[in-house]
């Protein structure tokens, strides 16, 4: 890890043509949505294989459905935090600014960000487990039991990417293209442990990007970062926006 400074970052952002951001659950932590791998995270209580996988759903669809509906409830009652709003502001200042997220909570969009690349789908969208028919919102989730598909009577499931499932081809392809051409690449609020999303910061760096990690903790990515900001996203991002506004 090098000893670059916030001033170096602001200068890079001032000159940058393309900036990309990869966000993870940590960006939503300050909106009250638990992360996955922090000690009090979502996985702490559950085994990921049990909940976010096809086998998990097939062996216990009610448990998985209930876990997701519980998360949908939390997401629907959550609001973006200062980190989300700062990213939306950066997107309006910097010419070509793409937000690539592993999150499924839609908070970037609620904060005004556009063209958000959702690598792992969206928890407020559903589809049929059997025929894949999309149900974006028009299903009754108030019932305890899992709704059934109107076309084939299959079980409805959240339209998210489970372990062992391919990411949406257009999303991962666009994300890789954005990473390749970025002058500055931010990895924010992610443990950088889930692939292929975790490849993106390396793709960016291999193509010459200035790599920034914003995370209060160290991760497997930290040693590759040109600048490591050991702070929360809701603190660090507004500061970066303020410093950038002073020089543009
Ligand atoms: C796939 C579903 C083809 C939605 C999730 C190599 C290549 C390809 C695949 C693999 C590979 N090696 C292994 C695999 C298999 C697997 C994988 O990566 N396993 C890992 C665990 C080793 N990948 C897959 O299965 C992917 N599918 O590639 O298909 C294939 C399949 C098999 C084998 C080969 C190829 C599918 C991956 C998607 C899985 N779906 N979620 C949902 O329910 O939400 S993953 C889940 O983890 C979430 O999507 C989450 O976003 C994601 C990553 O977690 P993070 O966002 O990083 O969250 P985490 O809690 O880990 O970290 C939070 C961080 O925030 C911490 O560092 C913390 O310090 C920090 N933080 C906390 N507070 C703050 C903060 N930071 C800033 N501010 C704060 N306030
Ligand atoms: Zn169906």
Higher pLDDT, 138 or 224: 224
Predicted confidence (pLDDT) per residue in 234-248, tens digit:
999 999 999 999 998
Atom of ligand 1 nearest to the CA of 191: 67
- Ligand 1 centroid–CA 111 distance in Å is 23
Over residues 220-225, mean pLDDT: 98
Q: What is the pLDDT of residues 52-91, one digit of tens each?
A: 899 999 999 998 998 898 889 999 999 999 999 999 999 9
84 is annotated as an active-site residue: no
3-state secondary structure the chain: CCCCCHHHHHHHHHHCCEEEEEECCHHHHCCCCCCCCCCCCHHHHCCHHHHCEHHHHHHCHHHHHHHHHHHHHHHHCCCCCHHHHHHHHHHHHCCEEEEEECCCCCHHHHCCCCCCEECCEEEEEEEECCCCCEECCCCCCCCCCCCECCCCCCEEEEEECCECCCCCHHHHHHHHHHHHCCCEEEEECCCCCCCCHHHHHHHHHHCCCEEEEECCCCCCCHHHCCEEECCCHHHHHHHHHHHHHHHC
Mean pLDDT of 29-57: 82
Confidence band for 138, pLDDT divided at 50, 70 and 90: low
Q: Residue 155: pLDDT above 60?
A: yes
When pLDDT is cut at 50, 70 and 90, the band that residue 145 belongs to is confident
Atom of ligand 1 nearest to the CA of 38: 60
Binding-site residues, ligand 1, Cβ < 6 A: 24-26, 29-30, 35-38, 41, 52, 102-104, 120, 160-166, 189-191, 193-196, 214-217, 219, 232-233
What's the mean per-residue pLDDT of the chain? 93
pLDDT exceeds 80 at position 37: no
Q: Which residue has the higher pLDDT, 39 or 33?
A: 33
């Amino acid at each position: 890890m090098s000893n670059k400074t916030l001033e170096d970052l602001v200068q890079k952002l001032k000159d940058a043509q393309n900036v990309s951001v990869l966000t993870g659950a940590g960006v939503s932590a300050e909106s009250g949505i638990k992360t996955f791998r922090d000690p009090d995270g979502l996985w702490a209580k559950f085994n990921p294989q049990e909940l976010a996988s096809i086998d998990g759903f097939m062996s216990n669809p009610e448990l998985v459905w209930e876990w997701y509906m519980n998360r949908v409830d939390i997401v629907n009652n959550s609001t973006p935090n200062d980190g989300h709003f700062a990213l939306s502001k950066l997107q309006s200042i910097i010419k070509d600014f793409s937000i690539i997220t592993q999150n499924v909570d839609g908070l970037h969009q609620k904060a005004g960000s556009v063209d958000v690349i959702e690598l792992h789908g969206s928890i407020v969208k559903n589809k049929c487990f059997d025929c894949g028919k999309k149900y974006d919102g028009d299903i009754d989730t108030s019932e305890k039991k899992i709704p059934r598909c109107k076309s084939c009577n299959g079980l409805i499931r959240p339209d998210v990417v489970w372990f062992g499932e391919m990411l949406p081809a257009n999303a991962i392809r666009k994300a890789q293209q954005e990473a390749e051409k970025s002058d500055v690449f931010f990895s924010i609020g992610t443990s950088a442990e889930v692939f292929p999303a975790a490849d993106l910061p390396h793709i960016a760096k291999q193509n010459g990007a200035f790599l920034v990690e914003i995370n209060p903790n160290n991760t497997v990515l930290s040693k590759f970062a040109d600048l490591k900001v050991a702070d929360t996203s809701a603190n660090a991002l507004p500061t970066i926006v303020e410093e950038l506004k002073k020089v543009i």
